[in-house]
A and B are shown apart, each in its own frame.
Chain A
């Protein structure tokens, strides 16, 4: 009886989480000019329109460009920091760890405004650069955390072996240590890509009609209308998220990632 009650609420929670997404997917096929569920008729017209109007394709490429630049920036700043974190004294490590996560504790809306204001104050006018800087700021803590975890799993004996055999510090770094942490660097970069691609608040402040990442393009659109063309784009994004989560579950096991 009690177990049934727990199960019932669990299913209500699942339906609450998933139903809005299903309704969006369903209504993207409607033949009407407005969003409705269940959809009336079936058409792919809104998908065709998503490819041609509103600059969504351009916005998609803007998002890719921004994510790529963010990955490069996060790597350039994050890899040395992770090495410093690994090699520093315990006190340095504790201090660094708490400093590194600062951007995650501060609300993005506030950091975005602060960044924009100092931009104004410094007389800078480079929106694309502003978006990328904002994205690096909120992704670099994730990246550093992933790479630090990778560094910690490298056995000390390997480095000592290299050292005993006479390898210089630079050689140990570039020929032994970095190759060993390539997997965690890649995982970190994947994380950066996903976060950057989805980021809204930071981008909102710096976007202009020339540079507009995909989420901001959608945001501007839905402030004034909820046309089915947005449902079509949303469907593409929802299905990619679903595929991504399923892959993650297959490869890593979400429960194992969570239990860590």
Chain B
């Protein structure tokens, strides 16, 4: 055996990273696959869509490369699109608030429970999360339809003579989306409540604060980070959701997502569809920024 196989212990310095600092070319070799993939399948498509959003719609040749902001201007000045925007944001707020109202007590109950209760409640909360979104939406179609389980049952006991209008409207889409987002909200809240210092709650109670007072003055403020994170997650999920509004809203209730889909597949108005894409993205980023601003790490 030659001595060259034995490393020179004098010049050997353990590098903090374990593997010695990779050379530039090694690093590029490692990152080439993801750079190529994201470049071709993420960056290029979005740049192309942005370019499309600047073109002009033409019924005869799809789009005319006559670049300008006309699509954005028409969206932000047209009452139809402004209404659509308001409808989508309203839906987002409504679903977020209801997920919070239902999710907060559920998360509290999960955290307070003994080992078995906790386990059972967690399994029941998480199961819907792994059930395919189409199946979950189907369940609500079956329940809320004009001939659905709820209407049939109410009719059978004689409470109603006409089916309740609970399908293809704000209500049905909101219910489907709350079902979708509630587990997400609960996860965010549970992960914060798990780390909560129980002695602070006990201190509040032993100092004579009632349960409601303890909740409002101590528990909720301590969980505010979780509330913020959960609300952001739910709101962004809801305003970008597609399958649930499409199936439960039918042709009667639309959100930005379902209209984007329509613009690209049925009316073939790619320029306006693309502009709507960036309106939706801007809305998403605005909410993320707002959240970052409100819940800045101190």
Contacts and interface: CB of A to CB of B under 8 A. Distances in A.
Interface of A: 1-3, 5-7, 9-10, 12-14, 16-18, 20-21, 23-24, 27, 34-37, 76-78, 80-81, 83-84, 86-88, 92, 96, 99-100, 102-103, 105-111, 113-118, 121, 133, 136-137, 140, 154, 156, 159-160, 163-166, 169, 172-173, 177, 194, 198, 200-201, 215, 218-219, 222-223, 226, 230-231, 233-234, 237-238, 241-242, 244-246, 248-249, 254-255, 258-260
Contact of A159 (B18, B45, B124): B18
A244 B139 contact: no
Overall SS of chain A's interface:
helix
Contacts of B42: 102-103, 106, 111, 137
A80 B31 contact: yes
A5 B104 CA distance: 12
B18 A156 contact: yes
B117 to A, nearest CB: 10
A121 B274 CA distance: 14
Interface centre among B46, B110, B142, B145 (most CB of A within 10 A): B142
A177 B18 CA distance: 10
B99 to A, nearest CB: 9
Contacts of B106: 9-10, 13-14
A249 B41 contact: no
Interface of B: 5-7, 9, 12, 14, 16-22, 27, 29-34, 37-38, 41-42, 44-46, 48-49, 52, 101-103, 105-106, 108-110, 118-119, 121-143, 145, 147, 149, 152, 178-179, 182-183, 186-187, 190-191, 194-195, 210-212, 215, 240, 242-243, 247, 257, 260-261, 264, 270, 273-274, 277, 280-281, 284, 288
Contact of B134 (A133, A173, A200): A200
Contacts of B126: 245, 248-249, 254
Contacts, number: 275
A219 B281 CA distance: 26
